Structure 1
Amino acid sequence: MQESAPGRRALETPRAAGLAGVVFALLLAAAMVLVRLGIPEGADAAGAPVTADSGRRAALRTALALVPFAGIFFLWFIGAARAHVGAVEDKFLATVFLGSGLVFTATMFGAAAAASAVLGAHRPAALLPVPGPWDFGRHFAYTLMTEYAMRMAAVFVSSLSVIGHRLGVLPRPLTVVGFLTALTLLFVSPNVPWAELVFPAWSLLISVHILTASGRVRPRPAAAG
């Protein structure tokens, strides 16, 4: 019984954390969509401030409420990925993987804080919004998310794909998708709207793979005696 207990824990932990990865992917995708809708980007953004539109304010408030939970579930997702790949002898890749995940979480929270500052700069409806603070907060939030957070996500995706390929714990098609996702986040996301959604899509694929792989494993019966 003492030998079988650790085996049960090793089988149960990836499945529970894999579900957290699915929840993270859904929450992050929803938050990204709501932020895109709540804080417009482009030449006409200055003429359509979020403070003058109750629908955009509601979308942004909902997104800001989702971001902290997405960050919490992302930490569980990191644990699920590390539990799935097992022990990694390459300390460099293991450190890059963990560090990029933590930096991504920090920059995502920073972008959410910038968006919250834009939302907090509310003025009476009779007054026009101040262009300076509005433009600064909008650009700051988008810069943090599309250029910094997404590039840290690209490092996270690529390092996990390399680890999974070297250890043989990720199927080849999934590693190829991971590398394509990393390239998209590195070079396309800052310039193409909505391209950042490839990260939650990739996270969903990885989480489903972890759940499927852990479901195929069956606990071995305890040895007699």
Structure 2
Amino acid sequence: MRQRSADPSREPGLGTPRAAGVAGIVFAVLLAAAIVLVRTALPSGDAAGDTPLDSGQRRAVTTALELVPFAGIAFLWFMGALREHTGKAEDRFVATVFLGSGLVFVAALYGSAAAAGTVLGSDRSSEFGRHYAYTLLMTYAMRMAAVFVFATSTIGRRLGVFPRPLTLLGYLVGLVLLVVGSAAPWFELVFPAWALVISLYILKAAHERT
């Protein structure tokens, strides 16, 4: 029989690195898929807002709206596993920013998805919903994602959890999400890409410790 660790304080967090890694990968894949589907089906230009959606566009939007709730759940699991992994060593100020920005991101993401769902209607409110969804996603959700990336990278640097290149990558990604905005189409894919890189690193580090 396998002997339990002599340090009981380590027992509750033994599985959290893998949980964070798996949840982060699920989040990254689902969010990236939803963004690609919505970007493809709903052009953000003003002229496109007057064009009725065809059956293919409606299916793409519907599929994206079905993916977003699960992406949000995976992201919350990712956050929780990361916080459990850092434990009492985390800085309270940075941890508060980490938690708050993550929760606001999920709320803005869900709000953006709800607004995007209005384009499935046949009235003129669909045009308003299209622009509102993009504004909520680009202006608010991605800014909160930037704060989350900054906070996560800071925690990783202070605790020595992330190597220096990964920390610098996080600061660069956060800066892009914070300042680029809607000026660069498809830039929002940078966030799930960063989450995927972080998750793969966490899984790799957890595997090397076993």
State whether TM-score is above 0.5. Answer: yes
* 1:105-141: CA deviation from partner (whole Å, max 9, x where unpaired): 000000001011221x23xxxxxx53xx232111100
**Aligned letter for 2:68?**
V
Paired residue for 2:209?
A: 217
Gaps of 5+ in 1: 123-128, 219-225
Distance 1:97 1:48 in 2: 40
Distance 1:194 1:88 in 2: 36
> Is the CA contact 1:84–1:210 (under 8 Å) kept in the aligned structure 2?
no
Q: Which entry has the higher C-alpha Rg, 1 or 2?
A: 1
Paired residue for 1:25?
A: 28
Paired residue for 1:126?
A: none
Going by fraction, where is helix more abundant, 1 or 2? 2
Residue 67 (structure 1) aligned with residue 49 (structure 2): no
- How is 1:180-219 mapped onto 2 (pairs within 5 angstroms)? 180-218=172-210
**Aligned letter for 1:83?**
E
> Is the CA contact 2:50–2:127 (under 8 Å) kept in the aligned structure 1?
no
Match of 1:157 among 149, 158, 166: 149
In percent, how many aligned pairs have the same letter? 59
State the Cα distance separating 1:12 from its structure 2 match.
2.0
- How is 1:65-214 mapped onto 2 (pairs within 5 angstroms)? 65-119=66-120, 121-122=121-122, 130=124, 133-214=125-206
* 1:24-70: CA deviation from partner (whole Å, max 9, x where unpaired): 100000000111112111143124232xx101000000000000000
> Is the CA contact 1:104–1:153 (under 8 Å) kept in the aligned structure 2?
yes
Distance 1:178 1:84 in 2: 19
- How is 1:36-55 mapped onto 2 (pairs within 5 angstroms)? 36-50=39-53, 53-55=54-56
State the Cα distance separating 1:8 from its structure 2 match.
5.1
Change (3 A) 1:100 1:191: same
> Is the CA contact 2:116–2:129 (under 8 Å) kept in the aligned structure 1?
yes
SS in 2 for 1:82: helix
State the Cα distance separating 1:167 from its structure 2 match.
1.5
User: How many residues of Structure 1 are paired with residues of Structure 2 in the alignment?
Assistant: 207
State the Cα distance separating 1:101 from its structure 2 match.
0.3
Residue 35 (structure 1) aligned with residue 55 (structure 2): no
Paired residue for 2:57?
A: 56
SS in 1 for 2:200: helix
Gaps of 5+ in 2: none
Alpha-carbon RMSD across the aligned residues, in angstroms, is 1.8
State the Cα distance separating 1:94 from its structure 2 match.
0.5
Change (3 A) 1:89 1:22: closer
TM-score by length of 2: 0.91
> Is the CA contact 2:16–2:82 (under 8 Å) kept in the aligned structure 1?
no
Distance 1:89 1:58 in 2: 44
Paired residue for 1:125?
A: none
State the Cα distance separating 1:20 from its structure 2 match.
1.3
